[in-house]
């Protein structure tokens, strides 16, 4: 008799964790006990990194020390920069990030050291270097020289400095910081689960993070923000948002990218916060025409019985695409930005998995034939 199949492991609990919890029925997210709304309103990304790694908010000296260590680790080794300059300029940025992280691991003589101290060191190094990789690649593929990180800026401001070569506005820095805070962890999502599966085999942190990046790349996970931005541009080309909605969504059954969530059956709290920051940035920017498109499309969906009956609301990808576009992030660079935030959660989960590790080994429900008779090669027929 076949055992009950849980497609996509839906509803299956795979680990105890103290890192984050999604209350999907009421639209609430907490990190180590703190509501995401409070963290988004008050915390720097570095404070959230500390919270996820050490289980508490840092004191000022502890935060200063973390920031100093991140500054010390942010620069890339010349061999990594040289390799980036040799990558195909048409490569997807997530493939570039995956390869560069793998090379960082290749260059680390202690890559196989899975002690807690070594894993914290590697987590710090990757959290510091991933923003530098993303900014460097954005410039390299555009024919520009990378900009070195500074030691007097927070992580969000430093990234925008390395990306654009000039200091960003405070509104842009605030929006990016909030984005990083909101995306840092989210329960046992696909990429986090992937990182824990690799760790459960006693694989090293670099292998686990590279695997997580591969999982995040897919359009049903991290790549959804790219898909949402491309959809907004398509809608903007239509005669009207309502006509696109009626023709494509109601008429052809097209999915609105960034609407609905596997866990949330109430509004995603992260979406509302990002919408506010999109409005704050876009209020004075002519380039933000797509914010109006997104808001009108959301309103149409929220008034439609199909979306209401299924509790389909804008998720984090919907307005994060608008925010990232507004601060100058190219569409295909949006998923790497997700990784830039989620490395905090991945590394925290990897360390947590090591603390109580057991090989993750689910079973499949075999539905194929049994007891087939062996047929010699010369008697086989292609029927």
State how beta strands 34-35 and 28-31 pair. Answer: antiparallel
The DSSP code sequence of 215-276 is: HHTSTTTTTHHHHHHHHHHHHHHSS-HHHHIIIIIIIT----TTB--SS-SS--HHHHHHHH
Question: Is residue 317 flagged as an active site residue?
Answer: yes
Among 185, 204, 317, 325, the one annotated catalytic: 317
**Contact by Cβ (8 Å): 324, 334:** yes
Residues in the chain: 383
For the stretch 294-299, contacts whose Cβ atoms lie closer than 8 Å and that sit 24 or more positions apart, written own/partner, are 294/232, 294/318, 294/319, 294/321, 294/322, 296/241, 296/242, 297/232, 297/235, 297/241, 297/244, 297/245, 297/256, 298/259
Q: How far is CA 266 from CA 263, 271, 298, 299, 302, in A?
A: 9, 11, 15, 16, 12
Q: Which of 71, 261, 277, 349 is catalytic?
A: 261
Using DSSP, state whether 90 is helix, strand or coil.
coil
Neighbours of 200 (CB within 10 A): 18
Supply the residues annotated as catalytic.
261, 317
């Amino acid at each position: 008799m076949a055992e009950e199949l849980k497609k996509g492991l839906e509803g299956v609990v795979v680990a105890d964790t103290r890192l984050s919890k999604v209350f999907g029925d009421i639209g609430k997210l907490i990190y180590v006990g703190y509501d995401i709304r409070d963290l988004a309103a008050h915390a720097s990304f570095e404070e959230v990194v500390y919270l996820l790694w050490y289980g508490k908010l840092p004191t000022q000296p502890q935060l200063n020390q973390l920031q100093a260590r991140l500054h010390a680790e942010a620069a890339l080794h010349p061999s990594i920069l040289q390799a980036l300059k040799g990558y195909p300029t048409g490569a997807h940025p997530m493939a570039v990030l995956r390869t560069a992280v793998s090379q960082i691991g290749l260059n680390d003589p202690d890559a196989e050291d899975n002690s807690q101290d070594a894993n914290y060191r590697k987590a710090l190094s990757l959290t510091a270097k991933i923003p530098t990789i993303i900014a460097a690649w954005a410039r390299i593929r555009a024919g520009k020289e990378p900009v070195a990180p500074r030691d007097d800026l927070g992580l969000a401001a430093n990234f925008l400095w390395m990306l654009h070569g000039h200091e960003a506005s405070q509104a842009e820095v605030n929006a990016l910081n909030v984005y990083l805070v909101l995306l840092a962890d989210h329960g046992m999502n696909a990429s986090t689960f992937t990182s824990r599966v690799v760790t459960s085999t006693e694989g090293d942190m670099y292998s686990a993070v590279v695997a997580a990046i591969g999982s995040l790349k897919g359009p049903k996970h991290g790549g959804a923000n790219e898909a949402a931005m491309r959809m907004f541009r398509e809608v903007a080309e239509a005669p009207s948002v309502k006509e696109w909605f009626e023709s494509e969504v109601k008429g052809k059954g097209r999915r609105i990218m960034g609407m609905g969530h596997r866990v949330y059956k109430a509004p995603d709290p992260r979406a509302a916060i990002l919408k506010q920051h999109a409005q704050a940035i876009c209020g004075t920017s002519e380039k933000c025409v797509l914010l109006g498109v997104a808001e009108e499309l959301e309103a149409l969906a929220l008034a439609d019985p199909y979306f209401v009956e299924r509790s389909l609301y804008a998720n984090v990808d919907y307005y994060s695409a608008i925010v990232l576009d507004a601060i100058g992030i190219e569409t295909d660079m949006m998923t790497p930005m997700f990784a830039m935030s989620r490395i905090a959660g991945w590394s925290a989960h990897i360390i947590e998995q090591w603390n109580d590790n057991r090989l993750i080994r689910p079973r499949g429900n075999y539905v194929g034939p049994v007891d087939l008779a062996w047929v010699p090669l010369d008697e086989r027929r292609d029927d």
